[in-house]
Amino acid sequence: MTPGINLQQTLSRTTLAVGDEPQLIYVLLEAHAEGLAQQLPKLPLNLCLVLDRSSSMRGERLMQVKDAAARIVDQLGQDDYFSLVVFNDRADVVIPAQRAIKKADLKAAIAQIEAAGGTEMAQGMALALQEVQRPFLTRGISRIILLTDGRTYGDESRCVEIARRGQSRGIGLTALGIGTEWNEDLLETMTASENSRAQYIATAQDVVKVFADEVKRLHAIFAQQVQLSVETRPGALLRSLDQVRPFIAPITIIEEAERRWVANLGDWPDTGVQGFLLEVVVPPLPVGDHAVLKLTLRYHLPGANLRDQARELMVRVSLRPAEEVTHRVDATVKHWLERLVAYRLQANAWKCAAEGRLEEASERLQMAGTRMLNAGDAALAHTLQQEATRILRNGTVSEEGRKRIRFGTRGLIGPVADDERETTT
């Protein structure tokens, strides 16, 4: 079997009642590697670590980070490139971009890193972008992994600009925040692009696993430049597209032509399911079976020297008289919709809080908590309820609670993200 990507669809409702009004449905699109994707040659990895070595990293944090960086070196093959940049109130290249061959020398350089000074992230990002562009790769995966535990001051816009410059050249960014003092708004803005994401590391003990899992995921990438196009029947409308597995993230989708939307989905590993939730308005239709959407997934398989591969899927609904229709929502779609709504509610809560509408903010956090409880995450539901109460009493939320909520509703807290990928209903 030729390796590729298999597509499956699950509708919130497959049968709708005939009527005069448009109706809303959700389509869960799930994609996973098929064939011999896992046996394809690994693509070379060109990785630059950017590590915060400000004074707040002293002690166990820095020790765990150095251990994690050394283990990354052990994970790399001879065709992989590695570089390391550190920053405080200045930035230095500790390891220039090179093949990961002399591993003992690389780990010895990592061991010499010490913590001191303040935090100015942009200088580190600029040097990282410089290093990751040094190797000349005809094919491969280029990534920057950034770790910080503090807030950078005065250079936030430059950090975003550097991240965008790299992303426009196919260089993704994984931004990791450890502890509670870092700026989650900045990291999420920097990673608001395909092949990029921000993640919360709650404790120093989680650093090694998070780093190792990220390199494992990058090594598992087999499909690149994945793009989804959605064509609708006349009168239908695509309202939104969100990724829900392995983590939740809004997807930018552009209407390129009349009734045709396109979204860039980046590079995919073959380690699990990629899941997306489409919100679709179905126009009034007569009794019968009707095609509503045509989904086309396009991608390259560089490990198999295959370009411009495509898979298509037709989404159909059945229209029946109202007395023949039940309104039960598919349980799997409902599960991911609950999580997505919780993510949206907490995002709206922070906006309300910033505008001084504390009761509305608390109400939205409580509603998000109910959604997370329905989705089976009792611990995060409890955190949401705690912070909803805190914001009413004190007018603020805790830094830890805010981060746990923002990244927990996305499934991006430390190693927990791995478990979340296997969540089913």
* CB-based burial label for 34 (10 Å; 0-12, 13-18, 19+): middle
Read off the pLDDT band of 115 (50, 70, 90).
very high
pLDDT, tens digit, 9 for 90 and up, residues 343-386: 999 999 999 999 999 999 999 999 999 999 999 999 999 999 99
pLDDT score of 98 more than 60: yes
* CB-based burial label for 338 (10 Å; 0-12, 13-18, 19+): buried
d(CA 114, CA 63): 10
- Arithmetic mean of pLDDT, 64-79: 95
Q: Say what the pLDDT of residue 41 is.
A: 80
pLDDT, tens digit, 9 for 90 and up, residues 340-349: 999 999 999 9
Non-local (6+) Cβ contacts of 106 within 8 A are 73, 82, 84, 95, 100
Q: Say what the pLDDT of residue 418 is.
A: 40
Q: Read off φ and ψ for residue 154, nearest 5 degrees.
A: 85, -10
Secondary structure (DSSP) of 282-300: EPP--SEEEEEEEEEEEEE
Secondary structure (DSSP) of 79-148: T-EEEEEEESSSEEEEEEEEETT-HHHHHHHHHT----S---HHHHHHHHHHHHTSS--SS-EEEEEEEE
Q: Say what the pLDDT of residue 1 is.
A: 65
pLDDT, tens digit, 9 for 90 and up, residues 177-215: 999 999 999 999 999 999 999 999 989 999 999 999 999
pLDDT, tens digit, 9 for 90 and up, residues 4-24: 999 999 999 999 999 999 999
AA identity, residue 108 = A
pLDDT score of 251 more than 90: yes
Q: Say what the pLDDT of residue 416 is.
A: 43
What is the reported pTM?
A: 0.91
Q: Say what the pLDDT of residue 354 is.
A: 93
Q: Say what the pLDDT of residue 327 is.
A: 85
Q: Say what the pLDDT of residue 417 is.
A: 39
> 3-state class of 320 per DSSP?
strand
pLDDT score of 422 more than 90: no
d(CA 343, CA 321): 35
The mean pLDDT value of the chain amounts to 93
pLDDT score of 163 more than 70: yes
d(CA 174, CA 72): 15
Q: Say what the pLDDT of residue 198 is.
A: 96
Any bridge partners for residue 298, and if so which? 227, 310
Nearest to 267 by CA among 242, 300, 245, 305: 300
